[in-house]
Amino acid sequence: MAVEENPATGADESAALQQISSESVDREGVTSGFIGEVVERLDAGDEAWLRASVSDMWAADIADLFEALDPERRDSLVATVKDVVDPETFAEVDEDLREAVLEHLEPEELATAVSALDTDDAIEIIADLDEVEREEVLARLPEADSVLIRRGLEYEEESAGRLMQRELLAIPAFWTVGDAIDFMRSSPDVPDDFYDIFIVDPRHRPLGALPLSRLLKSRRGVHVQDIMSTDLTPVPVDMDQEALANVFRRQDLVSAPVVDSRGCLIGVVTIDDIVDVIDEEHEEDVMRLGGLSGDDLYRAAFQTMKSRFPWLLINLITAVLASLVISIFDATIQEIVALAVLMPIVASMGGNAGTQTLTVVVRALSTRELSRSNAVRLIGKEVLVAAVNGAVLAVIAGIMAGIWFSDLVLGLVIAVAMIGNLISAGFFGAVIPVFLERIKVDPAIASTVLLTTVTDVFGFFAFLGLAAVVLL
Amino acid sequence: MAVEENPATGADESAALQQISSESVDREGVTSGFIGEVVERLDAGDEAWLRASVSDMWAADIADLFEALDPERRDSLVATVKDVVDPETFAEVDEDLREAVLEHLEPEELATAVSALDTDDAIEIIADLDEVEREEVLARLPEADSVLIRRGLEYEEESAGRLMQRELLAIPAFWTVGDAIDFMRSSPDVPDDFYDIFIVDPRHRPLGALPLSRLLKSRRGVHVQDIMSTDLTPVPVDMDQEALANVFRRQDLVSAPVVDSRGCLIGVVTIDDIVDVIDEEHEEDVMRLGGLSGDDLYRAAFQTMKSRFPWLLINLITAVLASLVISIFDATIQEIVALAVLMPIVASMGGNAGTQTLTVVVRALSTRELSRSNAVRLIGKEVLVAAVNGAVLAVIAGIMAGIWFSDLVLGLVIAVAMIGNLISAGFFGAVIPVFLERIKVDPAIASTVLLTTVTDVFGFFAFLGLAAVVLL
């Protein structure tokens, strides 16, 4: 549940803090000026200032502050402010740092923090603890909470079950608007913030949803089943979060009911969690295209090395393939050393043109905009674009090389090789990801290395082979 | 406003369509099987089937269907179904295709579609029309709508003003919960779907927000000012959409009030529009890292060529720089042709290691996780990671080259060159984007080309220079 105001903060203090917090963060988050000041106060041991500043900040901003500090200062800040921060901070902080942050909290403090959170945030934190700690924290929670959390932990990571909140309002179809409003006013079990009321049948299967605005605009005597939306999208509890995000996007949903295998309503996923999923997803795409297994900004140096190494090793092996092609033509190069000078131009142009195509195609696959029905058309367009751009660039490169080495035939060779290489780059830049998708390999992670290999091998072969035939 | 059900569709027909639509789309969108069927029906001229199928689909799915078809069939489908689709379809369809789709609508039809939409979607469509058409459509709208749309068009593209809806509910602070509920039940001006009521002062400046769930849980006699949240984040109408998305993310907002320069409440931005902004933003990042000005999936071939060409031309020029470095050592290469064979390995490893660092740093800059306070630490870590991975890979490459050419000194040369090149790749991969950000150049668009140039030039120079000194 969103903590609206820190109960520990009195009204006078709060006015003073308003002052601090308007300087410490601008509209987009913590300022580097504020981070600098935090560093100074940490070094000076000014605990009172630190606790007062942090207690009034948004959870996301405190998490950013934790992330911006070096490990030593971070530890000291966490230890100083752990009991005054919004508990959501612990769910907001980057996964790679969460363990280090949570270490500072005693089981008792963790239990207090967890019990103030929605089940989805609570599960995220509990999932990061080791077995022993987990039991210690769960034992300190109210029975009802710990049961829900234990059940939540049984769902797969990255599934709807992990994202959903258990807190929801479900009412029977025969109720009137007045019944619903009276129930909400009198029952202590109604969740804090929600957008839709769900209407369920006697077996608790969802029949419809009622946006609160519609409830409020209707007269008390109206039956909820007459005004509910029946075009519900019940989400199975094991649905993958990426698919779930697509459902939200397509239907502009704000919340979606989650059902178990028998179709019974067991939770609700809300849009704020989906925004996080969308961010994660995009981050994954960007990182994979860049040859990384994931964002390692907050990972320790040794972990970062280990995760990046395999990709570099694969790249070393594929680079040797390109070298083997060159070695076929070593006699030609010894004869005409200008070939060695110009070689990287052909390879680099092919790599770049191919990457342009690849980026568009990988993106289109991940947004499901590319399917069997338009793949052939797209490949055709990419080849055409590459051919025309290749022709123009070939003229420029050909003239330049011809003048540089006073050899018009050499200019012609590089021009022809470049056209061929760009066409193959356009073709393979589109075909490789489509092919990988079809054989169920993530195109984002494997396309780049395959494409560079193909454009290098093809580029060197075309350029040096043509030169060997024409120039020798 | 979301069109809940197409009024033209009777109840019986609707049951039949439920059947069709459950086959045509799966949970994530239109299936390629369905697209294939649409193509068949289009070719057979089965207009009745097409109109019936499409009239019951989500706007986002119809937009996907339009996007998946080739231009000719798309034209024919749009002409067939334009009056039965959810009008939101025209706002959902990709910008590069929107003009071609809207061309099929007469001003009268456009006006009907536009008047069924929220102001933000309406403005998006109207903004895409040329001057003459725009006036023709606006003249056909109710006075109140056309005034709002004209005013909306005056705001900058990608600003809060363009994203906001004018439809909102603002009430005075002295009202009670009962007053608010009675007003909502009786007033025809209350918007269809919303999540918060805003409380304003007599000059219409926002004082607080009241989530509907809180309104519903309170007794009729309670004053709204006693239960409203006062930690509002009023957004200036000219705020950039990217900054706005960060505000939503940080505070887990569902809607935010938009104020004009005098602080008066003039609109509200909702999370569904922010999800679109987040998607756009990410797309921009991915495309720029891939050397593209934007997603050109739906752009015609000629437009695609024109937009990709400048990047390739820049790359040609920088590739020549690398060639110039090689040409310094042409005598060395002629002596030892193995250097030409091994050259691409050094360059390619540097490029890949640098891209890994670059991807993490560009991403951290765009999410504002990287600031003056942690930049130096990050650069240090990147250099360390590159040095250690470089050392391991250098051993592998050195042994391999030594055995391949039966020349241990050559193996040593490539090993040393590779360590140096990877360290420089780690250093420049982190420093280049940070530097570009500081001089206000978008790191996503310019970093890659600068980095490849640096790693190529440095790699060739280190490898060939070292070889010239040691081996000759």
DSSP B225-272: HHHSB-----EETT-BHHHHHHHHHHHT-SEEEEE-TT--EEEEEEHH
Q: Which two tokens stand for residue B244?
A: 């706005």
| Top-tier CATH class for A170-287 | alpha beta
Q: Which of A246, A323, A379, A451 to mutate to test the interface with B (most CBs of B within 10 A)?
A: A323
Q: Do B341 and A327 touch (CB under 8 A)?
A: yes
Q: Indicate left, alpha or beta for B158 from its phi (over 0: left) and psi (-120 to 50: alpha).
A: left
Taking the C-alpha atoms of residue B221 and residue B175, their distance in angstroms, rounded to an integer, is 9
Sheet order of strands, A255-259 included: A235-236, A255-259, A265-270
- The pair phi, psi for residue B255, each rounded to 5°, is -150, 155
Which residues of chain B carry a pLDDT beneath 50?
1-23
Q: Count of CB atoms within 10 A of residue B177's CB?
A: 22
At B210, which helix (H) or strand (E)?
strand B206-211
Q: How many residue pairs from chains A and B have C-beta atoms closer than 8 A?
A: 366
Using alpha carbons, list the distances in angstroms from residue B422 to A169, B348, B364, B415.
Answer: 57, 10, 21, 11
Give pLDDT tens digits for A189-209. Answer: 788 778 889 999 999 999 999
pLDDT at B27: 57
Q: Do B64 and A373 touch (CB under 8 A)?
A: no
Q: Does A217 touch chain B (CB under 8 A)?
A: yes
Taking the C-alpha atoms of residue A344 and residue A152, their distance in angstroms, rounded to an integer, is 54
Chain B hits for A297, CB-CB cut-off 8 Å, are 360, 363-364, 369-370, 378
Q: Do A372 and B32 touch (CB under 8 A)?
A: yes
pLDDT beyond 60 at A22: no
- The pair phi, psi for residue B370, each rounded to 5°, is -110, 125
Pairing of strands A196-200, A170-172: parallel
**pLDDT band at residue A24 under the 50/70/90 scheme:** low
Q: Does A106 touch chain B (CB under 8 A)?
A: no
Q: Does A296 touch chain B (CB under 8 A)?
A: yes
Q: Which two tokens stand for residue A360?
A: 């568009």
Q: Which two tokens stand for residue A406?
A: 């006073």
Give me the CATH code for the B11-158 domain, please: 1.25.60.10
The pLDDT of A64-84, averaged and rounded, is 89
pLDDT at B342: 95
Q: Are B127 and B151 in contact (CB under 8 A)?
A: no
Nearest-Cα distance to chain B for A48, in Å, is: 22
Of B60, B193, B275, nearest to A213 by CB-CB distance is B193
Chain B hits for A32, CB-CB cut-off 8 Å, are 371-373
- The pair phi, psi for residue B146, each rounded to 5°, is -70, -30
pLDDT at B6: 38
Q: Which residues contact B317 (CB under 8 A, 6 or more apart)?
A: none
**pLDDT band at residue A374 under the 50/70/90 scheme:** confident
Nearest CA in chain B to A310: B389
Taking the C-alpha atoms of residue B447 and residue B432, their distance in angstroms, rounded to an integer, is 6
Q: Which two tokens stand for residue A445?
A: 């992670």
Determine what percent of chain A falls in helix, strand and coil, rounding each to the nearest 5. Answer: 70, 10, 25
Give pLDDT tens digits for A81-131. Answer: 988 999 999 988 888 888 889 888 888 888 988 888 888 888 888 888 888
Q: Are A379 and A386 in contact (CB under 8 A)?
A: no
Q: Do A213 and B229 touch (CB under 8 A)?
A: no
pLDDT beyond 50 at A40: yes
pLDDT at B251: 83
Using alpha carbons, list the distances in angstroms from residue A434 to A427, A440, B305.
Answer: 11, 10, 21
Nearest-Cα distance to chain A for B111, in Å, is: 23
pLDDT beyond 80 at A17: no
Q: Do A216 and B274 touch (CB under 8 A)?
A: no
Q: Do B2 and A190 touch (CB under 8 A)?
A: no
SS3 A157: coil
Q: Which of B96, B318, B337, B423 to mutate to test the interface with A (most CBs of A within 10 A)?
A: B337
Q: Which of B216, B346, B400, B410 to mutate to test the interface with A (most CBs of A within 10 A)?
A: B216
Spatial CA neighbour of B211 closest among A178, A117, A194: A194
Q: Does B338 touch chain A (CB under 8 A)?
A: yes
Taking the C-alpha atoms of residue B389 and residue B335, their distance in angstroms, rounded to an integer, is 31
User: With a CB-CB cutoff of 8 Å, which residues 143-202 of chain A face chain B?
Assistant: 181, 184-185, 190-195
Q: Are A28 and B368 in contact (CB under 8 A)?
A: yes
Using alpha carbons, list the distances in angstroms from residue A108 to A136, A137, A152, A379.
Answer: 8, 7, 21, 60
Q: Count of CB atoms within 10 A of residue A220's CB?
A: 13
Of A61, A247, A279, nearest to B27 by CB-CB distance is A247
Taking the C-alpha atoms of residue B243 and residue B269, their distance in angstroms, rounded to an integer, is 13
Give pLDDT tens digits for A386-445. Answer: 999 999 999 999 999 999 999 999 999 999 999 999 999 999 999 999 999 999 888 888
Pairing of strands A255-259, A265-270: antiparallel
Residue with tokens 């895409």: B128
Q: Which of A4, A5, A28 to mutate to test the interface with B (most CBs of B within 10 A)?
A: A28
Domain ranges across chain B = 11-158, 170-272, 301-471
Amino acid at site A297? L
Determine what percent of chain B falls in helix, strand and coil, rounding each to the nearest 5. Answer: 70, 10, 25
Taking the C-alpha atoms of residue A44 and residue A34, their distance in angstroms, rounded to an integer, is 15
Q: Which residues contact A86 (CB under 8 A, 6 or more apart)?
A: A3, A6, A57, A58, A59, A62
Burial class (CB in 10 A: 0-12, 13-18, 19+), A217: buried
Beta bridge partners of B170: B198
ipTM here: 0.82
pLDDT beyond 50 at A65: yes
pLDDT beyond 70 at A9: no
Spatial CA neighbour of B331 closest among B471, B468, B469, B470: B468
Spatial CA neighbour of A397 closest among A458, A469, A349: A349
Question: Whole-number mean pLDDT of chain A?
Answer: 87
Beta bridge partners of B198: B170, B209
The pLDDT of A337-352, averaged and rounded, is 93
Q: What is the pTM of this model?
A: 0.82
Beta bridge partners of A8: none
pLDDT at A1: 37
Give me the CATH code for the B170-272 domain, please: 3.10.580.10
Give pLDDT tens digits for B66-120. Answer: 988 888 889 999 999 988 999 999 988 888 888 889 888 888 888 988 888 888 8
Q: Are B91 and B61 in contact (CB under 8 A)?
A: no
Taking the C-alpha atoms of residue B377 and residue A35, their distance in angstroms, rounded to an integer, is 14
pLDDT at B1: 36
Nearest CA in chain A to B378: A297
Taking the C-alpha atoms of residue A258 and residue A152, their distance in angstroms, rounded to an integer, is 13
Give me the CATH code for the B301-471 domain, please: 1.10.357.20
Q: Does A290 touch chain B (CB under 8 A)?
A: yes
> Is the alpha carbon torsion for A454, A457, A461, A462 positive or negative?
positive
Q: Do A348 and B322 touch (CB under 8 A)?
A: yes
Taking the C-alpha atoms of residue A270 and residue A196, their distance in angstroms, rounded to an integer, is 10
User: With a CB-CB cutoff of 8 Å, which residues 362-391 of chain A face chain B?
Assistant: 363-364, 368-374, 377-378, 381, 384-385, 388-389
Classify each residue of A20-47 as buried b or exposed e, where b means 16 or more C-beta atoms within 10 Å of its C-beta.
Answer: bbeebbeebbbeeebbebbbebbeeebe
Chain B hits for A377, CB-CB cut-off 8 Å, are 70
pLDDT at B26: 60
Classify each residue of A273-304 as buried b or exposed e, where b means 16 or more C-beta atoms within 10 Å of its C-beta.
Answer: bbbbbbbbbbbbbbbbbbbbeebbbbbeeeeb
Ranges of beta strands (E only) in B15-162 are: 25-26, 29-30
Taking the C-alpha atoms of residue B297 and residue A366, their distance in angstroms, rounded to an integer, is 13
SS3 A93: coil
